[in-house]
Homo-oligomer: A and B are copies of this chain.
Amino acid sequence: MTGSENAVLEALDADRDGALGRLFELLRIPSISTDPAHAADCRKAAEWCVAALREIGFDAQLHETAGQPMVVGHMPPLGTEGAGGGGAPLRVLFYGHYDVQPPDPLELWKTPPFEPRMGEDPRHGPIILARGASDDKGQLMTFLEACRAWARTAGGPPVAVTVLLEGEEESGSPSLGPFLDAHGELLKADIALVCDTGQWDARTPAITTMLRGLAFCEIAVRGPARDLHSGMYGGPAVNPIHGLARILAALHDEAGRVRIPGFYDGVESPTEAQRAQWAALDFDEAEFLTDVGLSAPAGERGYSVLEQLWARPTAEVNGICGGYQGPGTKTVIPSEARAKLSFRLVPGQDPERVLAGFRAFAQAHAPDGCTIAFEGEGGSPAVGFDTESASMRAATAALEAEWGRSPVMMGCGGSIPIVEAFKTVLGMETLLIGFALDDDRIHSPNEKYNLSSFTRGARSWVRILARLAEAQAQRA
């Protein structure tokens, strides 16, 4: 196997300019899914992906949806002479998206967003500059180039590969759920590979092993039937802004812990090994905060910033409004005040139970004379992966071989809905491996992707596919 893997890596390195040329072709298509004016561009990008997959050797097709089309391609594993060895070959489903964020504000771009070019970053060296260079065209092309090198060198990848590329990730993936429901058989695999994540730093790879979940809702506190004149009614009339402030102020104790009864029920602590690995990382808490204008860490006392982000749940008010908000003064007692809340969840927490707890808590803290209503509730649980699984160990070994250091087993403070969908709809675990960096400026002007992210990312996938095939062979 190693011999074949080395040949594939050599082929990949030799065709670096070809790979960059292909990536640039895709980056030139302004496939902005949130802008209806770019619908034709999204289709063009989808068609480009179908053609690229077919050129590699995939059986690829474009599938219509209510929105942008889906691209699905299949490629069988190389024959019995390959890594598949004895039993059934491993099947992987790779997910990426061909749509990009709008480039606004355009005037802040130093070079046109859809005219990709190489640049030089003082810290990172050569970089690829374009909208989508990192998110997600650059990332998805690392996987496609790995498949191309396998196909050209060994006749096919060492595992059965299905590729799923959607065109609505930047607009909330409205067609993805229905597509998974309708075409589950087309996508069935043993494990999913999702590349929408990052490295720890430019020299250190990472595997994301935990994603926080989310529960959200809106609360309306109502007092008088209409806005009242604060001169004519101020005093005896209850003010719903005061009531809402009381509820929100009660959410956290002085140590930053959430005071909703039962909120922490079932919350699992990170393992000692994880805590030790995280503590050993060169994470600069002060820099992390200073970068966004914060002077002091808030949040739960007794936890590091990384622990708070990766392994602790939160309660946040994301928006609040009530009464007069225009210029100057208007002395009203408003009839209503509203707030939007969300709770970041960790494994062990149930979104519905968290929201029920909040509702009861809010009712208990509401002042007399106010009524409370809850709206727009929803959420999804956190996802935690077994860091000791065979596929996790295979990916770890592959990344160590490529980067010369162990990948960081990271948490991720946010959610990636596709991971939850793969688990619940298709019954698959996911390996979350990507090569983006925090300073890639995704969703912002002057997005970039390190050339090394691109080249070593593709090399990493060559190795990961090989190691996954080996692990499957050993299991068989």
Contact = CB atoms under 8 A, between A and B. Distances in A.
A106 interface: no
A235 B297 CA distance: 9
A333 B316 CA distance: 7
Chain A: number of interface residues, binned into ranges: 35 or more
B321 A329 contact: no
A283 to B, nearest CB: 11
Interface stretch (A24-32, A62-70, A240-248, A385-393): A240-248
A415 interface: yes
B324 A245 contact: no
A413 B320 contact: no
Contact of A248 (B242, B333, B339): B242
A245 B242 contact: no
B325 A329 contact: no
Contact of A317 (B245, B329, B412): B245
A324 B299 contact: no
Contact of A296 (B238, B246, B252): B238
A331 interface: yes
A166 interface: no
A334 B321 CA distance: 13
9 contacts: A230-B316, A232-B414, A234-B309, A235-B305, A236-B285, A236-B288, A237-B292, A294-B369, A319-B324
Interface of A: 212, 214, 216, 223-226, 228-239, 241-242, 244-246, 248-252, 285, 288-289, 292-300, 303, 305, 308-309, 312, 314, 316-325, 328-335, 337-340, 342, 344, 367-369, 376, 378, 412-415
Question: Closest 9 interchain pairs by CB?
Answer: A231-B414, A225-B293, A235-B308, A249-B249, A319-B323, A245-B248, A238-B298, A319-B324, A235-B299
